[in-house]
Amino acid sequence: MTRLAWHRVWEQVTLYLPLVLMGLLALATWWLVRNAPQAMPPETSAPPTHEADYFMRDFSVKSFDVEGRLQSVVRGRLAQHYPDTDTLEIDQVDIRSTNPQGRVMTATARRAISNADGSEVTLLGDAVVERITPAAAGQRAVPVLRLQGQRLQAWVDTERVRSDEPVTLTQGGDTVTGDTLDYDNKAGLLRMDGRVRGLVQSRQGRPGR
């Protein structure tokens, strides 16, 4: 892959990746904190066990802005709260959000785990995050940015995303893979370690390495 091609890939990734991950993973827990039912206080002081104290099945939660426009939809097959770890777990999570400019962000995973205040969220199992940007008048459409892995962990307050398992970044015909991912949005640093490989489409449509 040429130095110019690598520069173009990293420029695209560092521009959009924090918006995708931080926006979606913060959104994935906002509604849980606001909408989850309050657990009944225990009648005894016995230590909590790893058993759910409340749950929701086949749920769909929608949020709207002040003008009544749909902002986000969060769906799941099952959400459970565990008092011993004070965590919320969602099976088959599916999130879709749209900002005022019409950019759509989606996230799906077999399971999601959030701590009590939503500051730490983990997507587990076939996790896919996508950012879709509508084409502006007279301009070329921006390719969909896709992040895929088996485990994506985010700290919302510190704007950090990590994965100790392989991650694939794709946008249009460009693909970059690595064994690990560490992204620090505040510092503006993206690091992929291990077997990092890339395939970048040239402007003439021919692949370059």
Tens-digit pLDDT profile for residues 59-90: 887 888 788 888 788 889 998 988 888 888 98
CA 11 to chain centre: 19
**Percentage helix, strand, coil, to 5, in the chain?**
15, 50, 35
Q: What is the pLDDT of residue 130?
A: 83
Confidence of residue 33 (pLDDT cuts 50, 70, 90): low
Torsion of CA 60, 125, 152, 84, to 10 degrees: 70
Confidence of residue 27 (pLDDT cuts 50, 70, 90): low
Across the chain, mean pLDDT equals: 77
DSSP secondary structure string for all residues of 88-127: EEEEEEEEEEE-TT--EEEEEEEEEEE-TTSSEEEEEEEE
Tally Cβ neighbours within 10 Å of residue 43. Answer: 6
**17 contacts 182 by C-beta, under 8 angstroms:** no
> Would you put residue 194 in left (φ > 0), alpha (ψ -120 to 50) or beta?
left
- 């693909």: which residue's tokens? 175
- 């959000």: which residue's tokens? 97
- Give the whole-angstrom CA distance, residue 27 versus residue 53: 23
Q: What is the pLDDT of residue 2?
A: 55
The residue type of 150 is Q
Confidence of residue 206 (pLDDT cuts 50, 70, 90): very low
**130 contacts 105 by C-beta, under 8 angstroms:** yes
Q: What is the pLDDT of residue 142?
A: 79
171, exposed or middle or buried, with CB in 10 Å at 0-12, 13-18, 19+? buried
**pTM exceeds 0.85, yes or no:** no
CATH fold group of domain 3-37+50-208: lipopolysaccharide transport protein A fold (2.60.450)
- 């398992």: which residue's tokens? 165
The token duo for 205 is 């449509």
The token duo for 194 is 């291990």
The token duo for 58 is 């086949």
- The per-type count for the chain, helices as H runs and strands as E runs, is 1, 13
Over residues 127-149, the mean pLDDT reads 82
